[in-house]
Amino acid sequence: MKISKRLRRFILLLAIIGPGIITATAGNDAGGTATYSIVGAHFGYNLLWLLMLTTFILIIVQEMVARMGAVTGKGLSDLIREQFGIRWTFIAMSILLVANIAVTVSEFAGIAASLEIFNVSKYISVPIVAFLIWYLIVRGSFKNVERIFLGVCLIYVSYLFAGFLAKPDWITAFKHTVVPTIRFEPEYIRIMIALVGTTVTPWMQFFLQSNIVEKGISLKQYKYQRLDTIFGSISAGVIAFFIIIACAATLHKAGIHIGSAEEAGLALKPLAGNFASYLFALGLFGASTLGASILPLSSSYAICEAFGFENGISKKFREAPIFYFLYTALILFGAGVILLPKISLIFVMLLAQEVNGILLPFILIFIVLLVNNKRLMGPYVNSRWYNFVVWATTALLISLTLILITLPILSKF
Amino acid sequence: MVLFSEMFFSELIRVPVIDKVEQPIGKVKDVILVLGDQFPRITGLLIKTHENKIKVLTIGEIDLVGTQFVSTQSTKDRLVLSNLRDEDLLLRRDILDKQIVDTDGARVVRVNDLKLAKVGNDVRLIAADVGFKGMLRRLGIEKLVIFIMRLFKIKVPETLIGWNHVEPLAAELAKGRITIPHKRVNELHPADIADIISHVHTDERRAIFASLSDKTAAESLHELEPKIQAMLLLTVDTKKALGILNKMPVDEAADVLGDIPEEKTEELLRHMRPKKAEEIREILKHPEETAIGLMTTEFIKIPKNLTSEETIQKLREMAPDAETIYYLYVVDEKDKLVGVLSLRMLIVTAPNTKISDIMVKKVITVDPDANQRQLADVISKYNLLAVPVVDNEGRVEGIVTVDDVIDFILPPMSRRKRHMLG
């Protein structure tokens, strides 16, 4: 009981800090790792400017969502349902479901790819890990395991060292960070969509807002929360930056085209030598498993809350059948797709991020309309330049998608 | 106004509004109602006119209401339309798609559709549809899905809840403009109220909690998890907080106060009865998980030289304060615990029997520093309702009751918690 005031405040700070950092860490999942590695390996430093821009967008979007959680005390899917009615909710939830299925598949791809580096066949690893995740969460003992995986994700910090040790061309890297390079080639446009889509994902917004609400963060504590959100976004950006740099300085320089996770792991060679692949695999495994556990669960929560179905792992199967059905189906589907023979794991991971990038703007529209609702947010609505950033992002992503669709048609003329 | 028997709100939305001679006026946008009656009365429709204005069509102006059209009593040029007032309550904006409390099932549900019906001369809101059928109807695929499901011989159940069994959540009804006494919620069992509180969002939590009587609030508070307890106690004003704490046994009060900032705890303690405050302070000094942190000092202690008649007399004087009166602890002149007496034994013996003759001399006790696990073990092993905490000199410091350790005996789900990620 006798805890000094300062210590108490510090504990409070620690209790609040978290949602932003957890969300951002989980954001560097299988798909993120694959995308950043491919960005660096295939396009060198060319896309660093977009990463900068995306990190900035990430901060803006996460801050908006966190603010909405603190002001309204409600989750994003609740708000969509209450403000837009059931039809729009149906559309929003369908979008979220498609995006989340894609990400879940990519997380299992990450699990399969990382364990293949340790010579474990995917036909063994994927079913076992899928079952363990399902079981641990249904049993409710996931909380402890979650911390372990979060810890494993710290392996990604090794990219910081690898980036430096690879002796990248800092001048070129800096130039590309500030000067945009745009090429109208399908592959380039696709990687642009994937880069934005993996950094700012639809599921993260739902997850973050629920987390804020769940922690009961009030407006008074919000200034700490804001720091957490910004810090989390920036650290996610920094790690992505160094993954790209490390891959650009090693793989791109050597002309290696990433076709498997093992090749992506070679970027850590300047740091870990022959153990590079193993280090990479361990980090990828941690991040993918964390993602594969969070995604099916958070999707089921979001959808059940929006439609008012009973939900929660504290409920029995008979009390919340739809919740458990969704949750189980997502894991089964995600793991099932990976078990198809001859599927390219890296391709699946990248494709999932493209799907996210294509669907993100629609979720952003819901978010920005909600956050500007005066009845809901009172004085905490967006400022004008916030709105500008979000609408510009939405426009950018939609036009990239349109360009991607029309490019093959245009090139025929 | 005439309504053809009954209809759902979803069937009324976007229905064209025409005047007496079938000139188009606009479309139905929302329904205005007043709360207060058991089944709220509809006072008008909010319409979007063809001139793109949002206007109120009061009930007196309306002739017919149906799923095909709404007609007015007079012609368009004679029609009086008013503006929406700030205090008006709207079905779609304020109730549809929101959460409500189903007081029959004591659960929080989401409104998928609303049923209106003609009651006497009025049109009233009679039920909320919280089921799958209402959802399908809103999506406009009710008939299709029901047809398909019938092919598979699956029946879609009706899930209407009569409005008399419903309590809208105050905070939903447009922040602070309208206050609803949570009368029906107040009548539920405190454990159910706690369940509801843990299922709704922050604002509603405060609203429901603030509307509870001090006694109900105290009982519900105990059922909630510590984080929510602290949050709720901090949101009510000092006077209400003191009222609630006064209704709680000292150990539970200490439990709650241990989780809120020290300054606030001090402030509340200063305003409490000095004796109770002193007891709470004593408990707060010890770690929460030990016997001394969990125990209550409100128990019944009687000198061993009394007769059962005298004891019953004494019990009547002391009972209001004690947490449990089923066990009476018998002490000697030096305040040492010498025996225990159950209420049952006391009542069934002759009035002039000495209690030292009927008491159980071998008392199961625990040390002040026993942890929760040990306490739970002792209580469940000997099937006790409470166990006395005894110091080195054999004096009773307090008792730990079964409800303080029940979470250790039963699986931890009994504390109501809204399980989510994070």
CB pair distance less than 8 Å for B287 and A1? yes
Which domains does chain A possess? 19-410 (1.20.1740.10)
Tell me the C-alpha distance between B26 and B44, whole Å.
14
pLDDT per position as a tens digit, B202-255? 777 777 787 788 888 888 888 887 778 888 888 888 888 888 888 888 878 888
Per-residue pLDDT, B177 = 43
When pLDDT is cut at 50, 70 and 90, the band that residue A72 belongs to is confident
CATH of the domain at B248: 1.25.60.10
CATH of the domain at B103: 2.30.30.240
CB pair distance less than 8 Å for B138 and A87? yes
CB pair distance less than 8 Å for B421 and A210? yes
Residue B231 contacts A, CB cutoff 8 Å: yes
On whether residue B419 sits in a domain, the answer given is: no
The answer to whether residues B308 and B388 belong to one domain is yes
pLDDT at A359 over 70: yes
pLDDT at A151 over 80: no
pLDDT at A270 over 80: no
pLDDT at A271 over 90: no
pLDDT per position as a tens digit, A217-243? 777 778 777 888 888 888 889 989 999
What token pair was written down for B280?
Answer: 């709470």
Residue A113 falls in which region: left (phi positive, over 0), alpha (psi -120 to 50) or beta: alpha
The residue type found at A395 is A
Taking CB atoms and an 8 Å cutoff, what residues of chain A touch B98? 82
Task: Among B70, B87, B110, identify where a domain stops.
Answer: B110
Map A119-182 to HEC letters. CCCHHHHHHHHHHHHHHHHHHCCHHHHHHHHHHHHHHHHHHHHHHHHCCCCHHHHHHHHHCCCC
CB pair distance less than 8 Å for A82 and B98? yes
Residue B90 contacts A, CB cutoff 8 Å: no
Name the residue among A216, A294, A308 with its Cβ closest to that of B202: A216
Per-residue pLDDT, B413 = 45
Per-residue pLDDT, B3 = 64
Per-residue pLDDT, B151 = 85
When pLDDT is cut at 50, 70 and 90, the band that residue B95 belongs to is confident
Name the residue among A85, A297, A314 with its Cβ closest to that of B421: A297
Per-residue pLDDT, B175 = 47
pLDDT at B200 over 80: no
- Residues of chain B with pLDDT > 70, as a percent, come to 91
Q: How many CA atoms lie within 13 A of A277 on its CB side?
A: 12
The answer to whether residues B254 and B210 belong to one domain is yes
On whether residue B391 sits in a domain, the answer given is: yes
CB pair distance less than 8 Å for A73 and B202? yes
Name the residue among B110, B261, B413 with its Cβ closest to that of A308: B110
Q: Which residue of A has its CA nearest to B285?
A: A1
When pLDDT is cut at 50, 70 and 90, the band that residue A91 belongs to is very high
The residue type found at A218 is S
pLDDT at A10 over 60: no
The answer to whether residues B75 and B13 belong to one domain is yes
On whether residue B324 sits in a domain, the answer given is: yes
Residue in A164, A191, A166, A158 with CA at minimum distance from that of residue A281: A158
The complex's ipTM works out to 0.75
**Average confidence score pLDDT of chain B:** 81
Name the residue among B112, B175, B413 with its Cβ closest to that of A86: B112
The answer to whether residues B315 and B397 belong to one domain is yes
Taking CB atoms and an 8 Å cutoff, what residues of chain A touch B422? 18-19, 22, 207, 210-211, 214-215
Residue in B106, B115, B237, B256 with CA at minimum distance from that of residue B182: B106
CA A117 to chain centre: 23
When pLDDT is cut at 50, 70 and 90, the band that residue A92 belongs to is very high
Name the residue among A207, A211, A313 with its Cβ closest to that of B419: A313
How far is the CA of B367 from the CAs of B163, B168, B292, in angstroms? Answer: 54, 49, 8
The answer to whether residues B85 and B11 belong to one domain is yes
Tell me the C-alpha distance between A51 and B32, whole Å.
50
pLDDT per position as a tens digit, B384-395? 888 898 888 888
Per-residue pLDDT, B213 = 82
The answer to whether residues B270 and B311 belong to one domain is no
Taking CB atoms and an 8 Å cutoff, what residues of chain A touch B174? 375
On whether residue B293 sits in a domain, the answer given is: no
Residue in B260, B265, B286, B288 with CA at minimum distance from that of residue B277: B265
Number of domains making up chain B: 3
How far is the CA of A319 from the CAs of A306, A308, A313, B273, in angstroms? Answer: 17, 13, 10, 45
When pLDDT is cut at 50, 70 and 90, the band that residue B78 belongs to is confident
Per-residue pLDDT, B415 = 42
Task: Among B260, B285, B310, identify where a domain stops.
Answer: B285
pLDDT per position as a tens digit, A196-217? 999 999 998 998 888 888 777 7
On whether residue B270 sits in a domain, the answer given is: yes
Interface test mutation site (partner B, options A13, A25, A82, max chain B beta carbons within 10 A): A82
Alpha helices in A248-344 (DSSP H): 253-254, 261-265, 269-272, 276-307, 321-338
The answer to whether residues B277 and B331 belong to one domain is no
On whether residue B151 sits in a domain, the answer given is: no
pLDDT per position as a tens digit, A286-341? 888 888 988 999 899 999 988 888 877 777 888 888 999 999 999 999 999 999 98
Residue B228 contacts A, CB cutoff 8 Å: yes
On whether residue B121 sits in a domain, the answer given is: no
The answer to whether residues B212 and B253 belong to one domain is yes
Report the gap between the CA of A284 and the closest CA in chain B (Å): 21
Taking CB atoms and an 8 Å cutoff, what residues of chain A touch B92? 85
When pLDDT is cut at 50, 70 and 90, the band that residue A38 belongs to is very high
Task: Among B228, B261, B285, identify where a domain stops.
Answer: B285
Taking CB atoms and an 8 Å cutoff, what residues of chain B touch A85? 92, 96-97, 138
The answer to whether residues B232 and B331 belong to one domain is no
Give me the domain span that covers residue B397: 301-409
On whether residue B369 sits in a domain, the answer given is: yes
The answer to whether residues B7 and B106 belong to one domain is yes
Report the gap between the CA of B380 and the closest CA in chain A (Å): 25
Q: How many CA atoms lie within 13 A of B340 on its CB side?
A: 18
pLDDT at B418 over 50: no
Per-residue pLDDT, B362 = 85
The answer to whether residues B228 and B314 belong to one domain is no
Q: What is the mean pLDDT of residues B334-347?
A: 86
Per-residue pLDDT, B421 = 37
* Beta carbon pairs, A and B, within 8 Å: 78
CATH of the domain at B345: 3.10.580.10
The answer to whether residues B273 and B215 belong to one domain is yes
When pLDDT is cut at 50, 70 and 90, the band that residue A21 belongs to is low
pLDDT per position as a tens digit, A104-115? 999 999 999 999
Per-residue pLDDT, A370 = 95
